[in-house]
Amino acid sequence: AVPVTVVSAIGAASKFGVIIKSGAAFERLGGIRHLAVDKTGTLTRNQPTVTTVIPAGGRNEDQVLAYAAAVEQHSTHPLAAAITGAAAGAPVAQGVTEEAGHGISGIVEGHRVAVGSPRWIDPGPLQAPVAALEAEGQTCVLVTIDGAIAGAIAVRDELRPEVPEVIRTLNHQGVEVSMLTGDNARTATTLAQIAGITDVHAELRPEDKARIVAGLAQHRPTAMIGDGINDAPALAGATVGIAMGATGSDAAIESADVAFTGHDLSLIPPALRHARRGRAIIN
């Protein structure tokens, strides 16, 4: 049987948009000593916008954006939304294939167009400007047309304003925080510095996130908080999986112990405080 105090604490939490799936999940939450957080959409607003287009190989900004947007129309990735939103219009693309965590490619007006990460597409002559934009915390994708570098597109996704304060509070609560992201190391490190997170793991695939979380959870109780379908395996492997912005139909909420209906990270420290108090009463 679940103690009455736990039931009432879980009920109270739900009023603030924190859904705790069971008494056992609430108890585990109270024991958390490490929190792993996804970057994109969890620490950031998930409203990426194009700030800069750097053309190369004799192309111009409009061409680079239009060709990139042509293939990105077929993607649901947040970067794709930013690129199609910035383009004035886009031609039709055919035979589009997306490689999760890398990029996307297809045929546009008879030309093979690829858009993707600087790990997937060699930036060539754009190496230095791409590195500089990444050091500012922006994410860059490269665009090739028929295999030749045509340009780089820089996208900024701002940190949620409450993040530094939340990280400070968690540290005071004795919880260490790690950032896990598929984004590049320079962008991740810059945003982590602003957030006050010292442990950063970048350029990860979903299975890497799951492996890291499972490793941390073996040493001490570890929560993982994420929002994407990509994060479902990592949530499942944590002591407590926390899904953000859960709508009820997500793969993430299925594999989570705790779900936030909104994106307010400042609910984490009080949720932890309540769970610790609940634990103290049970034990």
Contact partners, residue 168, CB within 8 Å, separation at least 6 = 196
- The residue range among 8-16, 112-120, 165-173, 260-268 that interacts with ligand ADP, by the rule CB under 6 A, is 112-120
Q: Least distance from C-beta 136 to ligand ADP, angstroms?
A: 15
Furthest CA-CA distance within the chain: 71
Q: Which whole-number Å values give the CA distances from 92 to 66, 84, 113, 266, 272, in the listed order?
A: 10, 12, 12, 43, 50
Binding status of residue 117 toward ligand ADP by CB under 6 A: yes
CB nearer to ligand ADP: give 46 or 222.
46
Do strands 176-180 and 34-38 pair parallel, antiparallel, or not at all (unpaired)?
parallel
Applying CB under 6 A, among 9, 80, 126, 192 the residue interacting with ligand ADP is 80
Q: Least distance from C-beta 49 to ligand ADP, angstroms?
A: 15
**Length of the chain in residues, anyone?**
283
Applying CB under 6 A, among 183, 245, 256, 278 the residue interacting with ligand ADP is 183
Tokens of 108: 């546009």
Catalytic site includes residue 257: no
Tokens of 14: 């739900």
Applying CB under 6 A, among 30, 48, 55, 103 the residue interacting with ligand ADP is 103
Binding status of residue 181 toward ligand ADP by CB under 6 A: yes
CB nearer to ligand ADP: give 27 or 72.
72
CA–CA separation, 260 and 216 (whole Å): 23
Tokens of 9: 């604490």
H or E element at residue 152: strand 148-156
- The residue range among 114-122, 127-135, 234-242, 270-278 that interacts with ligand ADP, by the rule CB under 6 A, is 114-122
Binding status of residue 101 toward ligand ADP by CB under 6 A: yes
Backbone Cα Rg of the chain? 21
Residue number closest to ligand ADP, CB atom: 182
Q: Least distance from C-beta 24 to ligand ADP, angstroms?
A: 29
Of the residues 38, 183, 231, 257, which is catalytic?
38
CA–CA separation, 3 and 185 (whole Å): 45
- H-only helix segments in 145-243: 163-172, 185-195, 206-219, 232-237
CB nearer to ligand ADP: give 99 or 109.
99
Q: Least distance from C-beta 102 to ligand ADP, angstroms?
A: 5
Pick the closest to residue 241 from 255, 227, 230, 229 (CA basis).
255
Applying CB under 6 A, among 5, 49, 51, 75 the residue interacting with ligand ADP is 75
Q: Which does 144 bind (CB under 5 to 8 A by kind): ligand ADP, Mg ion, none?
A: none
What is the end-to-end Cα distance of the chain in Å, rounded? 14
Q: Which residues are catalytic?
A: 38
Residues near ligand ADP (CB under 6 A) are 39-40, 72, 75, 77, 79-80, 98, 101-104, 115-117, 139, 141, 181-183, 228
